[in-house]
Amino acid sequence: MRLPGRIAATLLASAFFAGAACAGDFASFQPIGFSADGSIFAFEEYGVQDGSGFPYSNIFFIDTRNDTFLAGTPIRLRIDEENTSLAKVRAQTAAKAAPFVEKFDLGANPGLMAAFNPVTEVDGDAHRLTYRQYAVQPPVGGDFTLSLDDIPLPPSAQCKDATPQSTGFRLTFQTEDGKASNRVLHADTKIPDSRKCPLGYRIGGVMVFNPLEGEPVHVALVQVLSLGFEGADGRWIAVPASMTP
């Protein structure tokens, strides 16, 4: 089956975000795009699972207005065969995601990677990130600063025997458009089972979309560091932040 062009493009345009797995498994991140009004954002995380060597791909479609997944998503797939290529599993999730991508015309609105803070960055601050929302020179507008704090929480039922304590996170704007802020974007009160056994978090980057009409949409990219088979694993959470007062 031939994939739509914009889906195939997302599979090929991943070199910048890809990372080799060693010890723990850190998923690579690939943005797919926004709807024209910024109300929908989609991305893929993919990699090879530590321990088993099985390739996986997960595609998320997020309603940025209320921070929920679209019905019928996320699309998650792992092929439990060591010799299966990563390209094969990514092609299968891309095919399943194609109706959503086409419906919301996500390929027409890629958005801007306003900041990227990979785990391989030696001087990067894992808990603080400052960026601007427009890619222009000279700069337009003020800066935005995100701050992440770990929150100690009781482990979920599936993790209580593995870790005596799990970790949640609080994500806050410290500046918005150059002005001081203390707006909380997210604060955990319990640990979702989907995060497995989280040990900590990093601010991994920020996506920004500026629709033709309406306010910009910012999406903070948070890496979840969880207990893995051979070391800490890394997965992605997208936290949307509306700029509408």
Residue 146 CA to residue 204 CA, distance in Å, equals: 11
Whether residues 106 and 118 fall in one domain:
no
Which of 13-17, 83-87, 92-96, 190-194 is predicted most confidently?
A: 92-96
Please check whether residues 135 and 102 belong to one and the same domain: no
Q: Provide mean pLDDT across the span 138-142.
A: 94
Asked if 8 and 128 sit in the same domain, the reply is: no
CA dist., res. 18 & res. 202, Å (int): 17
The whole-number average pLDDT for the span 38-51 is 94
Domain boundary among 47, 76, 110: 110
Count other C-beta atoms under 10 Å from residue 180's C-beta: 9
Q: Give the residue from 85, 110, 135 where a domain finishes.
A: 110
- When pLDDT is averaged across residues 49-76 and rounded to a whole number, the result is 94
Rounded to whole angstroms, the Cα distance separating 57 from 211 reads 28
Place 11 in a pLDDT band, splitting at 50, 70 and 90.
very low
Domain limits for position 97: 1-110
Neighbours of 136 (CB within 10 A): 8
Token pair for 209: 């979309």
Return the half-sphere exposure (C-beta side, CA atoms, 13 A cut-off) of residue 131. 25
54 token code pair: 């099985």
Q: What is the mean pLDDT of the chain?
A: 88
Boundary (domain end) residue, out of 110, 125, 145 = 110
Rounded to whole angstroms, the Cα distance separating 161 from 64 reads 35
Nearest to 89 by CA among 51, 54, 61: 54
What is the spatial distance between Cα 237 and Cα 76, in angstroms, rounded to a whole number? 14
**C-alpha pair distances (Å), 56 with each of 67, 144, 184:** 24, 33, 32
Of 5-14, 144-153, 201-210, the range with the lowest mean pLDDT is 5-14
How much is the pTM? 0.87
pLDDT in tens, 143-194: 999 999 999 998 888 888 877 788 999 999 999 999 999 999 999 999 888 8
Average of pLDDT values for 31-58?
Answer: 95
- Asked if 22 and 40 sit in the same domain, the reply is yes
